[in-house]
A and B are shown apart, each in its own frame.
Chain A
Amino acid sequence: MIFHYHLFDMRDGWASLSRRPLRSLLSSLGIGIGVTALIAMLSIGEGAKKSALDKIASLGTDALRIENNSQAAFTGRNSLANISKGLVVADAEYLAEWLGTRGNVGAYVRRENVTISREGRSVVATVLGVSAGWFEAEKVQLQSGRSVNQGDITLRENVCVAGSRITTILGTAPGSSIMLQRFPSNLVGVLAPKGRLLTEGTGLSALDFDNTVILPIFSLQAIFPGKDEARLDGLVITLNDSDEASILSIGAQVEEILLVRHKGVEDYSLVIPLNLLKEARDSQRLFSLIMGTIAGLSLLVGGIGVMNVMLANIAEQTREIGLRMAVGASRSRIANLYLWNSFLLTMTGGIWGMAAGVILALFIQKYAGWDVAFSSFSLIVAPLSALITGIVFGVHPAVRAASLQPASALRDS
């Protein structure tokens, strides 16, 4: 019976709103814009969060990344080069010893835009010369073959491990030989596809694992001489304890150690991805606060618009309310009817607002290049906020309609 009453009141409410379609449409516009703003901003926020999380996950939440920054540090201050040489193999060895069983340290030097070829096929790739600990520290998996080991490094073996994209393009497999520029190297392993290191905005150099050839650290320096053999381009440290406080504490200690070893010259940059996560969370919180305020204000304005239209409708329908009361509608049924009216108005706004919000977010993604993501949270919160707005701003008109006296309502002109 209650279901029948609600169904009837809902249909009546819809019919009543349909009588003045333009007014109803304009009234739902306010709510719709609020919901559009809410959906668009939530999805942009969600996209930014997802992008930040992807980036941090790619860099490793339990990792510390250090890159040589001596060029920037020495610019215009050549005297500093005499004090510190930047990141060197000795730094890696010291940190590995200091860290002990708490983690792994991987050191590397890199060369960009190296032409890798085999039997007429070629590809331009990054070449890394790595320490034995790099594979473990970087958590790279092998698709086939073996990795570079300490023996290869000590003996300066002419071996390499290639990214999956390179072996696909060159059509090669472990056991064959490939050319690094004009130097032959024996392919001993292929990396499992891992994709890119998402370094945008971190100050770190980009790296596409699938498009990289990895050699023993000293072999690379033998093939591509020109740099001091002891110098490194970077270090990656992975900690076994993934506790946030522990990682941040070790990060601070590593920074202190390097600063002392480099005699106070900051010719390196230390990036702690966990800190990026914290920064991303803080930005996300601020963004959520701002967008929540904007969407809340839009909904408030929309809600006031709905209430205004509801009061106007009630003023116009006073005789009809009197008639309904005369044929037996209780005050609660009259209130119910007008609550349905405001609910339908706000939900209509909410539904098209959701659609417009999704379109707006996709539009922003396409033309502004921002990442967007649609979470179930936003798709629940948006209509829910429209629903709550409808109820909150519909109560006053509904109570006003229900408190009319039937005789005077019927006399209304």
Chain B
Amino acid sequence: MALAPLSLVVVEAEFLVVTGRSGSGKSTLLNLLSTLDKPSHGEVMLNGVSLTLMNEKQIAHLRNSCFGFIFQMPHLLPEKTVLENVVLPFHYGKLPVEVDVEKRCSELLDYVGLGEFGLRYPDTLSGGEMQRVVFARALARRPEVIFADEPTGSLDAGNSKKIMRLLQEQVERGCTVIMASHDVDAVHYGTRIVHLDKVESSLRQEPV
């Protein structure tokens, strides 16, 4: 079993930080909550609806319209420009009629400080810049929940700080952020910390 049995409730506009040692199941927990993985036992509920009962299309739609993802490694499509990478989620869901997609994505790049980088390709960016592109992509469809799995794991202190501030701003705007991290500095940005300890099969929660 990759994850010890646990029961966790996350409330709206919460910045939940999941900590724990390597192998404690932080990433597994995030994958289960974000539907990237299926639980072998138990249930994941969102607004009272069981995600485990949803079919594949509904889950894909949920990921596209309600969830944003930031991974430890900045996953970008190398053959697409920075702007095209940010626009990507719009190609997998309904195009919003009232929104100029390219304009919105350019604004998001401005927001993460990469307004001039839209036409560049990912291999010309630094790790910190790529992670900010990923951040902009996560925000593209105005998600209700952002899942961030070690978002600062591959960044230097300066870039880590930028990413954490951006996440904090999203929480202030009403977005829920669930972040797995063992970065001591990053933990301080959370409004609640969940500590996973596989050995003890327990969950300790402490408000910040």
Q: Is the CB of B31 within 8 A of A5?
A: no
Q: In the complex, how many angstroms separate the beta carbon of A7 from the nearest chain B beta carbon?
A: 10
* Known contacts A19-B79, A326-B69; is-contact A407 B64 (Cβ 8 Å): no
Q: Which B66-84 residues have a C-beta within 8 angstroms of A?
A: 69, 71, 75-80
User: Which A residues lie within 8 Å of B64 (CB)?
Assistant: 327-328
Q: In the complex, how many angstroms separate the beta carbon of A216 from the nearest chain B beta carbon?
A: 84
Number of A-B contacts defined by CB within 8 Å: 70
* Known contacts A331-B56, A405-B37, A407-B37; is-contact A323 B91 (Cβ 8 Å): no
User: Which B residues lie within 8 Å of A333 (CB)?
Assistant: 60, 92
| B53 is an interface residue with CB less than 8 A from chain A | no
Q: Is the CB of B88 within 8 A of A327?
A: yes
User: Which B residues lie within 8 Å of A332 (CB)?
Assistant: 57
User: Which A residues lie within 8 Å of B79 (CB)?
Assistant: 12, 15-16, 18-19
User: Which B residues lie within 8 Å of A406 (CB)?
Assistant: 36-37
Residues 158-194 of chain B: 1 if any A CB is under 8 Å from the residue's CB, otherwise 0? Answer: 0000000000000000000000000000000000000
| B125 is an interface residue with CB less than 8 A from chain A | no
Q: Is the CB of B61 within 8 A of A328?
A: yes
Residue of A nearest to B32 (CB): A407
Q: In the complex, how many angstroms separate the beta carbon of A103 from the nearest chain B beta carbon?
A: 73
Bound-complex Cα distance A408 to B71 (A): 13
Residues 88-128 of chain B: 1 if any A CB is under 8 Å from the residue's CB, otherwise 0? Answer: 11011111000000000000000000000000000000000
Q: Is the CB of B80 within 8 A of A4?
A: no
Q: Is the CB of A327 within 8 A of B69?
A: yes
Q: Is the CB of B63 within 8 A of A326?
A: yes
Which residue among A325, A330, A408 has the maximum number of chain B CB atoms within 10 Å of its CB?
A: A330
User: Which A residues lie within 8 Å of B88 (CB)?
Assistant: 324, 327
User: Which B residues lie within 8 Å of A4 (CB)?
Assistant: 91, 95
Bound-complex Cα distance A8 to B64 (A): 16
Q: In the complex, how many angstroms separate the beta carbon of B141 from the nearest chain A beta carbon?
A: 8
Q: Is the CB of B78 within 8 A of A324?
A: no
| A1 is an interface residue with CB less than 8 A from chain B | yes
Across the interface, B94 reaches (CB within 8 A) one of A1, A8, A19, A319, namely A1
| A410 is an interface residue with CB less than 8 A from chain B | yes
User: Which A residues lie within 8 Å of B76 (CB)?
Assistant: 323
Across the interface, A328 reaches (CB within 8 A) one of B63, B75, B80, namely B63
Residues 387-413 of chain A: 1 if any B CB is under 8 Å from the residue's CB, otherwise 0? Answer: 000000000000000000111101000
Across the interface, B92 reaches (CB within 8 A) one of A18, A319, A327, A407, namely A327
Q: In the complex, how many angstroms separate the beta carbon of B47 from the nearest chain A beta carbon?
A: 18
User: Which A residues lie within 8 Å of B94 (CB)?
Assistant: 1
Q: Is the CB of A319 within 8 A of B37?
A: no
Please tell me the number of chain A residues within 8 Å of chain B, measured between CB atoms. Answer: 28
Residue of A nearest to B78 (CB): A19
| A97 is an interface residue with CB less than 8 A from chain B | no
Bound-complex Cα distance A319 to B76 (A): 10
Bound-complex Cα distance A164 to B105 (A): 79
Q: Is the CB of B31 within 8 A of A327?
A: no
| A329 is an interface residue with CB less than 8 A from chain B | yes
User: Which A residues lie within 8 Å of B71 (CB)?
Assistant: 410
Q: Is the CB of A328 within 8 A of B77?
A: no
Q: In the complex, how many angstroms separate the beta carbon of A407 from the nearest chain B beta carbon?
A: 4
Q: Is the CB of B37 within 8 A of A329?
A: no
User: Which B residues lie within 8 Å of A12 (CB)?
Assistant: 79
| B19 is an interface residue with CB less than 8 A from chain A | no
Q: Is the CB of A8 within 8 A of B91?
A: yes
Bound-complex Cα distance A406 to B35 (A): 9
Bound-complex Cα distance A4 to B94 (A): 10
Q: Is the CB of A410 within 8 A of B36?
A: yes
* Known contacts A1-B94, A4-B95, A8-B91; is-contact A326 B61 (Cβ 8 Å): no
| B132 is an interface residue with CB less than 8 A from chain A | no
Q: Is the CB of B36 within 8 A of A328?
A: no
| B65 is an interface residue with CB less than 8 A from chain A | yes
User: Which A residues lie within 8 Å of B75 (CB)?
Assistant: 319-320, 322-323, 326, 410
Residues 209-248 of chain A: 1 if any B CB is under 8 Å from the residue's CB, otherwise 0? Answer: 0000000000000000000000000000000000000000
Q: In the complex, how many angstroms separate the beta carbon of A22 from the nearest chain B beta carbon?
A: 16
User: Which A residues lie within 8 Å of B93 (CB)?
Assistant: 328
Bound-complex Cα distance A406 to B59 (A): 12
Interfacial residues, chain B to chain A (CB-CB below 8 A): 31, 34, 36-38, 56-57, 60-61, 63-65, 69, 71, 75-80, 88-89, 91-95, 137
**Listed A/B pairs (16) with beta-carbon separation below 8 Å:** A1-B95, A4-B95, A8-B91, A15-B79, A16-B79, A320-B77, A323-B77, A325-B63, A327-B88, A327-B89, A328-B89, A328-B93, A330-B60, A333-B92, A407-B37, A408-B37
Interfacial residues, chain A to chain B (CB-CB below 8 A): 1, 4-5, 8, 12, 15-16, 18-19, 319-320, 322-333, 405-408, 410
